[in-house]
Amino acid sequence: MLDRVRQKALAAAKSRRASQEELKEAPQRVKEIERELLQMQLQPETKHGEDRAQRYSRLLRLRNMRQRFTERRPLDTSDQPNGIILAVVMTVASFMICAFCAVGSYVGVQYLHQKPDPVAAASAFWVNMESRSYGEVRSSYLSPTLRVQYDQNSFQQLAQQADTDYGPVTNAVLFKQAGDMTQTAILTYQVTRNKTYNATLTLVLHGGVWGVDDLGAVFDPSQAGLPAPTPSPSPTGPPTPTDVPTVTPLPTATTGG
């Protein structure tokens, strides 16, 4: 209650403006207050501080107060983890995080600097050829130029006709490569169908992806020297019967009696 009254009085004093007469009397009032302060008697502790006995007594009081407080409000340390275990766990966790960041950065840099491999793209092309996944071959391993040249149906028919005429692809072995291998790669394979022949693939790099731009003799082994398949003769219909000339009997002569 007294604090509220004091606060109200202080607020009223701060909000009140001094008059001109009070402002003129202010320096004289300050001097009077200074004289009153000089006349006040100070305690010995204020001038010289506490002596040793008093200071020891004060320390004992503070110690007793601390002890009573700890008895009433004991510290709960049962659920706190051991400091050494916590330090070890934090150290291991920090090391694992740093290792993960380092490995991730290394893998990211390697991925950014990794260059596509034309031989790997051609190997995937032949794997899909052997499994007769011609739709996957066209959509994933042909260059944009060949994808425009062959739609899905025409490419499927071309591959199936080659399988019919020469047998399906069962193996392909790389034995020669040429080109700069950065923008253009020319790879020659020994391809096995019913017979073995050489086929050359020309791959180009487009948009960071290798694609076959020239199929060579993949679907036409006759370009590599294999004999072209002979067309089977068309079946003929049954022979038509020949017309037999009809014989007209001659009239017999009659004799007169």
The pair of structure tokens assigned to 132 is 């007769």
Measured distance CA(29)–CA(194) in Å, rounded: 125
End-to-end CA distance of the chain: give it in Å, rounded: 184
Q: Which pairing describes strands 209-214 and 184-192: parallel, antiparallel, or unpaired?
A: unpaired
Residue 20 lies in a domain: no
Residues 125 and 97 in one domain: no
CATH number for the domain harbouring residue 135: 3.10.450.100
Q: How many domains is the chain built from?
A: 2
22 in a structural domain: no
* pLDDT string in tens for the chain (257-residue length): 667 777 777 777 777 777 888 888 888 888 888 888 888 877 776 666 777 888 888 889 999 998 888 888 877 665 555 677 878 888 899 889 988 888 888 777 666 555 678 899 899 999 999 999 999 999 989 999 998 999 999 999 999 999 999 999 999 999 998 888 888 999 999 999 999 999 999 999 888 889 999 998 899 898 888 888 776 555 555 555 555 555 555 555 444 44
Three-state secondary structure call for residue 181: coil
- Residue 3 token pair: 């604090």
Flag whether 2 is in a domain: no
Beta strands in the chain (DSSP E): 171-178, 184-192, 196-206, 209-214
Run of H or E including 55 = helix 52-72
Same domain (yes/no): 202, 131: yes
Do 127 and 160 sit in the same domain of this protein? yes
- The domain in which residue 128 lies consists of 118-224
Residue 164, in any domain of the structure? yes
Among candidate residues 114, 133, 167, the one where a domain is terminated: 114
Q: Find the length of the chain.
A: 257
CB neighbourhood size of 117 (10 A)? 12
**144 assigned to some structural domain:** yes
Query: 220 and 146 in one domain?
Result: yes
**What is the side-by-side strand order in the sheet with 171-178?**
171-178, 184-192, 196-206, 209-214
* 130/210 same-domain check: yes
